[in-house]
Structures are given as C-alpha cells and as structure tokens.
C-alpha cells in the first residue's frame, strides 16, 4: 500500500490550498490519496498545516482552492453533519452533561435509530473498548484514558467508513499513550475502518500507521511507510524530524551511480548514498542515524577520527557525544552489550559507517 492512485483513493485531496488571511497559504497545493481501510498519519510540527487538512476533511474549514473527494464524490459543499465521518478530538469533547451511554447514543439518536437497536450498538461499542461497566457514569467521573476510550467508541458507534483523530493521545501520560496506541491499532485492524490520524509525535506515527505523511510548511515533505520514512528519508527535514539524526554539511565533489563523494565543511571526504543532493558542486546535508555508526572500527568505509566529549548512560544503550569531522554534536548509540569496550570522556577513537547508511540530502 505504498502508493494509492487518485482514481482508487477513498479520500483524495486534489490540489487543495488553504489560506486564512488571503496573504499566506497554510496548506500549499496538497495532493494526497488515502486508500480504503488505510491508517494514514499526518505528522508534522505545529503550524505545519496538518490539523487544517483534517478540519477541511471533517468540514469545519473550507478549502480555499481544490477539491476534497470522499468515496469519489467531492465533499467541499457538504456540511459536516452530512459527511458521516467519525471524529476523535484532542480533548475528547465528551458532552459533560450526558452520561457515557447518552454520549454514545447521541449519533444514533440524530440518525433516528430505534431504542432497542441503539442500546445494542452502544453496548457493543462500549464492550469493544472494555468500558461496558461505565455506561451510567459521567465523563467527569472518568480518568483521561477512560475518557479517551469513550471518545473512541463514540466516533465508531455509528459505523462510519472514515474516522479522523486529532492528536487524541496528546493529553495522556507516556505509558498510557503507548498502551492506547496499540489499542487503536488493534481496533483499526479489527474493524477495517479508514483512519486519518494527526499527531506531532513521531513515535506514535511510526507505531500505528500504514503510511505517514510528514507535513512541514504546508507541504507534504514525504509520504511513505514508517520503515521507509525512518530508513530512507528523502530530505533533510524528514531525516531530522523522524528519529535521531546526525547532520554533516558539505559540498558534493563527485557522483557516480548512486554514490556521492562529499567534502565535509569540517574537513575530510566521505561517501554517501546520493538521494536528493543535486549536482556536483552543490551543497548537501548528510544524514546518518546514531545507531548505524560503528565505533572503534579498524577498517571499512568512511573511517574517521573521533573524540569522545560526553557519555550518558541510558541502561540499554550508552549515548555518546563525539567530535567528528568538526561536528561537536555527533551522537553515537553504543548498545550496552557484554563485549563492547567501555569508552571514557576525552578518549580518541575512530568511527565509520556504510555508504548506504549515510544519505546525501538537500542542503536546507
């Protein structure tokens, strides 16, 4: 499901633009096709336009230009309540004056569903999130995680084909958040509903999604599966935003095939996989993941001198800050394995990495 064409997309953004003030574009020419049953995450820093996209899809904002299609039909002029899209809000938006049961019953009531059918569906939805015993509670009597489950159940109870989630786990503590990530993912697998999920938390995006659209500055920087995104970032922003990343800046001296030879500003020449680096003579950003750097290697490609500046013990690994090719912020993760030699601060050693683990990206 790495690509979905515009023709068979369930949700399609077709050249969508959005501006609030008529001067700047919050969303710039967005093209995105989401397949039926897909779990797609819009990931990006705040102000990147991801929430605006979600709100346009839900119908609370109107696109300034372009079409949004749902199931092949343009929905620009359909009001939110006729779109039939379930939604989970950042602060849950559970109605405080209704009980949990009434909250879940609400979307069914406005659909004029019979009482017996309503009750059955509410019970099923509550059982689905293991909250069956809480039907008569008020939202204020529930913990954050419980409210989150109710909000989830409420968005699914009327069986929409599409559910939007706007940073639904943002208010939970870390442990609960991780637990809820799995639960949402399992629900998605079980129900086969299409989910569009907005978050600024990259680990959340990687854990749950089929595909992730990384937003920045109103543009999708990269749309890919989680592993592609982490291992094969296409530009410097994505490399920097997803996971930890060492940056080395330099000038491209030679390109042969997909291998670029780069002269790093801090001195020294390294080879990297040419991804998005432009032509010979252009500037580039090299991206190397901290866990792909080998310390104390005697031979191999890209071997350079390094000096240990700082060591942080983190249990399962040791985080080591080094000076490499003039960069004082070069991070290396050393697994805490029995056979690994202990480093000390000030020690001079060598580091190296495989050419394809170092990606030559745009110069930004």
Partner 1 sequence: MSDATGPIVTADGVPLKRKLAQAMFRSRARAFGLALPLLAFIIVAFIIPIVTLLYRGVHDPRFAEIMPRTTAVMQNWEPTSPVTEEMAAALVADMVVARKNRTIGQVATRVNRELPGTRSLFTSTARKAKKMKPPYLEALIKKDRKWGDNATWQAIKITAKTYTPAYLLQAVDLKYNADGSITRQPERFRIYMKLLVRTMRISLIVTLATLVLGYPVAYLLSTLPVRSSNMLLILVLLPFWTSLLVRTTSWIAILQSEGVLNNLFVLFGITTDQQRFSMIYNETGVLIAMTHILLPFMILPLYSVMKTIPPSYVRAAKSMGARPATAFWRVYFPQSVPGIGAGALLVFILAIGYYITPALVGGEDGQMISNMIDFHMRKSLNWNLAAALGAVLLVVVLFFFWLYDRLVGIDNMKLG
- Mark 225-264 with x for binding to partner 1 (rule: CB under 8 A) and - for no binding: ----------------------------------------
Closer residue to partner 1 (CB): 66 or 107: 107
Kindly give, in sequence order, each residue whose CB lies less than 8 Å from that of residue 224, ignoring residues fewer than 6 positions away: 2, 211, 212, 232, 234
Residue among 58, 206, 212, 242 that touches partner 1 (CB under 8 A) = 58
293-332 residues near partner 1, rule: CB under 8 A: none
- DSSP of 157-176: TT--SEEEEESTTTTS-HHH
Computed over its alpha carbons, how large is the radius of gyration of the chain? 24
Residue among 9, 101, 107, 226 that touches partner 1 (CB under 8 A) = 107
Pairing between β-strand 85-88 and β-strand 162-166 as defined by DSSP bridges? parallel
Q: State the DSSP code for 19.
A: -
Examine residue 95 and tell whether it contacts partner 1 (CB under 8 A). yes
Examine residue 114 and tell whether it contacts partner 1 (CB under 8 A). no
27-56 residues near partner 1, rule: CB under 8 A: none
Interhelix angle 115-128/144-156, nearest 10 degrees: 130
- Mark 144-183 with x for binding to partner 1 (rule: CB under 8 A) and - for no binding: ----------xx--x-----x-------------------
For residue 255, give the nearest of 273, 232, 235 by alpha carbon: 273
Beta strands in the chain (DSSP E): 11-18, 27-34, 39-43, 65-70, 73-74, 85-88, 162-166, 194-199, 211-216, 219-224, 246-256, 259-264, 269-274, 283-288, 294-295, 304-313, 317-324, 327-335, 348-352, 358-361
Examine residue 111 and tell whether it contacts partner 1 (CB under 8 A). yes
Residue among 24, 46, 77, 97 that touches partner 1 (CB under 8 A) = 97
User: Taking the complex as a whole, how short is the minimal distance between the CB of residue 111 and partner 1, in angstroms?
Assistant: 6
Closer residue to partner 1 (CB): 81 or 115: 81
**Binding residues with partner 1: total (CB under 8 A):** 27
Residue among 65, 81, 115, 253 that touches partner 1 (CB under 8 A) = 81
Kindly give, in sequence order, each residue whose CB lies less than 8 Å from that of residue 194, ignoring residues fewer than 6 positions away: 10, 11, 34, 35, 36, 37, 38, 39, 40, 161, 162, 163
Q: Residue 357 corresponds to which tokens in the numbers above? A: 């683990």
Closer residue to partner 1 (CB): 93 or 249: 93
From 25-33, 103-111, 136-144, 296-304, span contacting partner 1 (CB under 8 A): 103-111
Closer residue to partner 1 (CB): 15 or 111: 111
From 2-10, 86-94, 267-275, 304-312, span contacting partner 1 (CB under 8 A): 86-94
The conformational region for residue 130 under phi > 0 = left, psi -120 to 50 = alpha, else beta, is left
Closer residue to partner 1 (CB): 29 or 95: 95
Contacting positions for partner 1 (CB under 8 A): 58-60, 79-87, 89-91, 93, 95-97, 106-107, 110-111, 154-155, 158, 164
């Amino acid at each position: 499901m790495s690509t979905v064409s515009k023709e068979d997309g369930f949700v399609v953004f077709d050249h969508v633009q959005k501006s609030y003030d008529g001067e700047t574009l919050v969303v710039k020419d967005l093209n995105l096709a989401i397949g039926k049953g897909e779990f797609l995450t819009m990931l990006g820093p705040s102000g990147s336009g991801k929430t605006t996209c979600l709100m346009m899809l839900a119908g609370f904002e109107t696109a300034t230009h372009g079409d949004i299609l749902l199931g092949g039909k343009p929905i620009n002029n359909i009001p939110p309540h006729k779109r039939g899209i379930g939604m989970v809000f950042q602060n849950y938006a559970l109605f405080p004056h209704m009980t949990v049961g009434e909250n879940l019953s609400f979307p069914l009531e406005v659909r004029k569903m019979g009482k017996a059918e309503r009750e059955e569906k509410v019970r099923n939805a509550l059982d689905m999130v293991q909250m069956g015993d809480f039907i008569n509670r008020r939202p204020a009597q529930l913990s954050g995680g419980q409210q989150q489950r109710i909000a989830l159940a409420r968005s699914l109870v009327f069986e929409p084909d599409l559910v939007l989630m706007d940073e639904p786990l943002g208010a939970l503590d870390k442990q609960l958040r991780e637990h809820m990530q799995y639960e949402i993912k399992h629900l998605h697998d079980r129900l086969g509903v299409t989910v569009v999920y907005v978050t600024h938390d990259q680990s959340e995006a990687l854990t749950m999604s089929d595909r992730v659209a990384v937003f920045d500055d109103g543009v999708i920087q990269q749309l890919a599966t989680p592993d592609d995104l982490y291992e094969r970032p296409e530009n410097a922003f994505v490399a920097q935003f997803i996971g930890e990343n060492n940056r080395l800046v330099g000038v491209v001296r030679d390109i042969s095939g997909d291998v670029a030879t780069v002269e790093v500003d801090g001195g020294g020449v390294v080879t990297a996989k040419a991804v998005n680096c432009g032509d010979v003579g252009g500037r580039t950003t090299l991206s190397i993941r901290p866990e792909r750097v080998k310390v104390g290697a005697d031979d191999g490609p890209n071997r350079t001198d390094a000096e240990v500046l700082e060591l942080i013990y983190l249990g399962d690994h040791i985080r080591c800050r080094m000076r490499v090719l003039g960069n004082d912020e070069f991070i290396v993760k050393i697994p805490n394995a029995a056979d690994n030699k202990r480093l000390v601060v000030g020690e001079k050693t060598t580091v190296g990495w495989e050419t394809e683990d170092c990606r030559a990206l745009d110069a930004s």
